[in-house]
Amino acid sequence: PGAPRERRRRRGRARGRTEALLHTLKRSRRVKANDRERNRMHHLNAALDQLRSVLPTFPDDTKLTKIETLRFAYNYIWALSETLRLA
């Protein structure tokens, strides 16, 4: 009990991994993260395109930006709600 014990450092998952293997793992994780982000943006853009298709825009050939689409949709919903409230 009086003698100090040696403490071992735990390295967890990193034990035995070479620098090259760590680089490969990091690159693989980055590629997967990029794929997830690309998919997320594709879904977001598809949803915004669907929203644009139901909003009345003048002229019809004008494509609203993302923020313009969201603001216009908010205002359009508000105007419809006010119309219903007053009717």
Its pTM stands at 0.69
For the segment 1-50, what is each residue's pLDDT rounded down to a tens digit? Answer: 666 666 666 666 556 789 999 999 999 999 999 999 999 999 999 999 99
- How many Cα atoms within 13 Å fall on the side-chain side of residue 32? 6
Task: Evaluate whether 9 touches 27 at the Cβ level (below 8 Å).
Answer: no
Pick the CATH number of 2-84 from 4.10.280.10, 3.40.50.2000, 2.130.10.10, 3.30.420.10: 4.10.280.10
Task: Evaluate whether 49 touches 69 at the Cβ level (below 8 Å).
Answer: no
